């Protein structure tokens, strides 16, 4: 029952990671994707699918605030529509969505697990509004704990 309660939120507090510190993009992707597996939000295939998809179609973009990344993969790997947020202690090179030869340095990673994109337009619109909100992105980047980040994002994403 408590599991269901937890999973009813698109972004739960335990899927927020402040100051994630790995030397490479793939390690960051694997770490975050594994958290979804631990919570049973995705299938075992999800981490590999995320890493492969990133190689073929990268997901970093230059938002107005600073660079961010929105890794995601095919919905077949997803159990529950959900999201993870990570601020990075040391931004690493990450290729741009619109130009896989251009390296960006995301400060925040929003990893998405979307089960049925056609039915989840509202969530996609919320993510787009976050990408475009410089004040919010700056607040997330400057936050020092998952609690602080949750307080910023909960009203935007979960309501």
Partner 1 sequence: MATKIRVLSVCGSGVVTSHMVANKIVDLLEEQGYDVDPDECNPSELEGYLMRGNYDFIAYSSPIGDHGDVPAFSAMGLITGMGDDEFVEQAVACLKAHGK
Q: Judged by CB under 8 A, does residue 45 bind partner 1?
A: no
Nearer to partner 1, 25 or 72 (CB): 72
Going by their DSSP bridges, the two strands 108-113 and 82-88 should be labelled as antiparallel
- 38, 124, 142, 144: which one binds partner 1 (CB under 8 A): 124
Q: Judged by CB under 8 A, does residue 61 bind partner 1?
A: yes
CA 97 to chain centre: 15
- 1, 44, 121, 155: which one binds partner 1 (CB under 8 A): 121
Residues 75-94 that bind partner 1 (CB under 8 A): 75
Q: Judged by CB under 8 A, does residue 74 bind partner 1?
A: yes
Q: Where are the alpha helices (DSSP H) in 8-133?
A: 25-38, 46-56, 121-131
Residue whose pair of structure tokens reads 């919010």 in the numeric block: 136
Shortest CB 29 distance to partner 1, Å: 14
Q: Running DSSP on this structure, what letter comes out for residue 103?
A: E
Tokens coding 81: 């529509």
CA 83 to chain centre: 6
Nearer to partner 1, 21 or 99 (CB): 99
Alpha carbons within 13 angstroms on the beta-carbon side of residue 25 total 25
**Residue 59 backbone phi and psi in degrees, to 5:** -130, 15
Nearer to partner 1, 18 or 91 (CB): 91
Q: Which residues bind partner 1 (CB under 8 A)?
A: 53, 56-59, 61-64, 70, 72-75, 97-100, 112, 114, 117-118, 121, 124-125, 127-128, 131-132
């Amino acid at each position: 029952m408590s599991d269901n309660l937890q999973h009813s939120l698109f972004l739960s507090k335990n899927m927020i990671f402040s100051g994630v510190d790995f030397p490479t993009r793939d390690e960051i992707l694997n770490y975050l994707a594994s958290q979804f597996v631990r919570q049973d939000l995705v299938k075992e295939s999800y981490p590999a699918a995320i890493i492969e998809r990133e190689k073929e179609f990268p997901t970093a973009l230059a938002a107005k605030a600073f660079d961010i990344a929105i890794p995601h993969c095919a919905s077949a790997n997803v159990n529950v529509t959900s999201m993870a947020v990570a601020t990075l202690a040391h931004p690493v090179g990450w290729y741009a969505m619109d130009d896989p030869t251009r390296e960006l340095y995301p400060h925040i990673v929003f990893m998405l697990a979307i089960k049925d994109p056609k039915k989840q337009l509202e969530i996609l619109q919320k993510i787009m509004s976050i990408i475009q909100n410089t004040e919010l992105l700056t607040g997330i980047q400057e936050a020092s704990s998952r609690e602080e980040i949750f307080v910023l994002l909960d009203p935007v994403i979960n309501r």
